[in-house]
Amino acid sequence: MPDTKKVVLITGASSGLGRACAAHLVSKGFTVFGTSRQPAEMPAGVQPIALDVTNDVSVEQAVTAVLAKAPRIDVLVNNAGMGVAGSLEETTIEEAKRQFEVNFFGAMRLCQQIIPVMRGQGNGRIVNISSLAGTIGLPFQALYSASKFALEGLSEALRLELEPFNIQVIVVQPGDFRTRFTASRRVVAAAQHSPVYGPRFATALQRYVSEENNGADPQLVAELLHRIILARSPRLSYRVGAWSQRFLVGLRPFLPDKLLIRLLASYYNL
């Protein structure tokens, strides 16, 4: 099948990385379905699908809606996500579960619905949007990092499980990008006036916000996704974003733990 006839489903295509990916693939001639909780917000040419990734029924209905319009789903991009920030000590279990419901179980729900479709058609690609924070635990974003580490583990295991079915699983690890992610971040309730972590949390959060506001252009991720879809034999993982951030993560296996912790503490002014 020519690549441009492929059907791509992108979750969280109303904004940021997902929106850029959806618009770019449409411009390359792909059939693109984009999801949102408010599907009216899709870029031109992207077929809107209503989806809340935290809801089982919504996921089933979204996949049914795509299959009513397209004969197959060649590429699933699990992109929908959000960030929870605050000290681990002050994060409630409910707040932590919310983080995992969107970033981890959301992707799992989509995989469970779409793997049978891909097995039936004899091929497919699942691209999970992780983060560089899924390779290094970030202070005051412990639950966000944990959700992305979990997604990394899921992806690595799933790649092997699906190998006999000609379905490849790929992880994309973005650094900081300018998107609505910063505005949508949820600060845990107890962190708003924390007597213990207040100043350090505020300093770290300020740093995250500034890095994201000055982050890379989402178009970079869109172009990478296009290359991944076209690749004959895609790798398990791809880093994308500022060179300095990718470099630090690349150095990680060679750095003594003490040095890594000192570098991170100084980077986030902790």
Ligand X SMILES: NC(=O)c1ccc[n+]([C@@H]2O[C@H](COP(=O)([O-])OP(=O)(O)OC[C@H]3O[C@@H](n4cnc5c(N)ncnc54)[C@H](OP(=O)(O)O)[C@@H]3O)[C@@H](O)[C@H]2O)c1
Specify the amino acid at residue 124: G
SS (H, E, C) 121-165: HCCEEEEEECCHHHCCCCCCCHHHHHHHHHHHHHHHHHHHHHHHH
Q: Is residue 210 annotated as part of the catalytic site, yes or no?
A: no
Task: Pull the structure tokens for residue 169.
Answer: 């699983």
Q: According to the binding rule CB under 6 A, does residue 54 interact with ligand X?
A: yes
- Helix boundaries (H) for the chain: 16-27, 56-69, 93-100, 106-121, 142-162, 181-184, 198-213, 219-230, 243-251, 257-267
145 binding ligand X? (CB under 6 A): no
Token pair belonging to 233: 């034999």
Out of 6, 145, 148, 237, which one is annotated catalytic? 148
163-171, 178-186, 187-195, 251-259 -> range binding ligand X (CB under 6 A): 178-186
Nearer to ligand X, 51 or 165 (CB): 51
Of positions 48, 86, 139, 174, contacts ligand X by CB under 6 A: 174
**128 near ligand X, judged by CB under 6 A:** no
Which of 7, 8, 17, 170 touches ligand X by CB under 6 A?
A: 17
Among the candidate windows 8-16, 65-73, 161-169, 188-196, which touches ligand X by CB under 6 A? Answer: 8-16
Show which residues are catalytic: 14, 130, 144, 148
Task: Enumerate binding residues for ligand X (CB under 6 A).
Answer: 11-18, 36-38, 41, 51-54, 79-82, 102, 129, 131, 174, 176-177, 179-181, 184, 212, 215
